[in-house]
Amino acid sequence: MLNDEQLAAIIDVGYEQRGVEFKSAGDRSDRSFLANVARATIALANQRDGGHLIIGLSENGIDDAASGLSPEQLDQWLSFDDVSDQINAYADPPIQIQLAQVQLPNERAVVVVEVSEFAEIPVLSKKDYPNRIAAKQLYTRSMAKPESSAALTQNELREVITLATEKQLARFLETARRAGIGVGQPAAASAREQFDEQLSRALADDFHLDQTLPQLITTIRPAVFDARRIPFLELLPAIQNAVVRRRGWPFPFVQNPISGRDWVGEQISSMHPGTWQLFESGQFLDSRFIEEYGPDSDGFLDEGQIIRGYLPIWLPLLHFTEGIEFAGRLQRATFEAEPVSITLSLHNIRRFVLVAAHRSRSGLHGSYVYNDDTWEYEIHLSPEEGLTSTRALAAEAALDLLQRFGWRGVTLDLLRDIQTEAFGPEPQ
């Protein structure tokens, strides 16, 4: 669910995005307005990762008269059962949503409707409202401009079909696994030296973050090194089609990419500083600065302890989850479903301390400090795991990291609960 800070960052971009739609303030009792909301919700549900509908935010800006909800409108749009029933009166099958009140930078209140992607089959509209929504239509978000439309291009239709196919395949693979039937082949040995050489050159370039900064680095590479695996003109579409938008801020953030000799990439200096590159070899490199967090107000630190920084327990977990899911999407679309290798690492984290850094959680009941400069964890992702196990693999990686801070109380169940809170229930 978007928070105040993430909403402010979206507003700073200055326009709607494919995964975010704005609606000016309106009453839920206004049937025409409700039909518009239902159409937008259906369209978001029919794209990968769903999206966010912000009710009470005018396209003309936060200070426009149509931005901000009255107390009565807030009560209307925060009534979960009523909102869900009224939206799903237009949707077949029903859509899964979550609701939250969020503040605009000028302190006006809006409601964010977080829309999950469809669970098994695409969502169709099931009734009409004149000039707003038509029955038996497949609405989705246009790739050409951020709007909800039933006039699908071949690319938009292909995305919906691909997503539906992946869900059915994932269900089949999970059923096969429970039945004890092995699916997939062991990962082949990668051309590690060639990929490592390319990685070293990239990290030595001024394009990436200063290597002395604390940062998370994610690398993804296919099993076999081929310097011209992906045609240059297909690099950017490969990234755009695999982007993960689970938390409102995408992984990776693609806004103003640039091109190099054999890569495309982007430097991000705004809300979450970092960089990413995708090479023609298929190797992907993402560097993300570990931003400054303070201690928990009710946390525990040893007296006289030397601290270089604070690491929220949720930060690597959610970052790993998005990175592994991105790798699975890239794997299916670009690497013809061959195994891929994912390396998750943290750098320059000596004397970092774990904190909860969450307003609804108390501080940790001990002082958990990392006493080395780096941590690294490697995952060999099979095609089956890329469809069915991304959250589980991320939780296992985060467990390994957090235990090395000396936190013996961390469990997989705790980490899976944090994932569910951030991303919603895992599709069944």
Q: Does residue 269 share a domain with residue 133? A: no
Domain contains 33? yes
Query: Is residue 139 in some structural domain?
Result: yes
Q: 62 and 113, same structural domain?
A: yes
Q: Is residue 104 domain-shared with residue 148, that is, in the same domain? A: yes
C-beta separation of 223 from 341 below 8 A: yes
Give the structural domain span for 28.
4-164
Q: What is the CATH number of the domain that holds 13?
A: 3.30.950.30
Pair 152, 9 in one domain: yes
Distance CA 153, CA 365 (A): 54
Within-domain flag for 179: no
Looking at the structure, tell me whether residues 126 and 203 fall in a common domain.
no
| Same domain, yes or no: 137 and 210 | no
Domain count, the chain: 2
Count other C-beta atoms under 10 Å from residue 36's C-beta: 21
In angstroms, rounded to a whole number, what is the distance separating the alpha carbons of residues 37 and 27? 11
Query: Are 415 and 301 found together in one domain?
Result: yes
CA angle 221, 155, 92 (to 5 degrees): 105
Same domain, 265 and 390: yes
pLDDT in tens, the chain (428 residues): 777 877 887 777 666 677 888 999 999 999 999 999 999 999 999 988 888 999 999 888 888 888 899 999 999 999 999 999 999 999 999 999 999 999 898 989 999 999 999 988 999 999 999 989 999 999 998 777 777 888 788 888 888 888 888 888 777 776 666 555 555 544 443 478 889 888 888 888 878 888 889 999 999 999 888 999 999 999 999 999 999 988 777 899 998 999 999 999 999 887 788 999 999 999 999 999 998 888 877 666 666 678 899 999 999 999 999 999 999 999 998 987 789 999 999 999 999 999 988 766 677 878 899 999 999 999 999 988 988 899 999 999 999 999 999 999 899 999 999 999 888 887 65
Peptide bond into 93 cis (omega under 30): yes
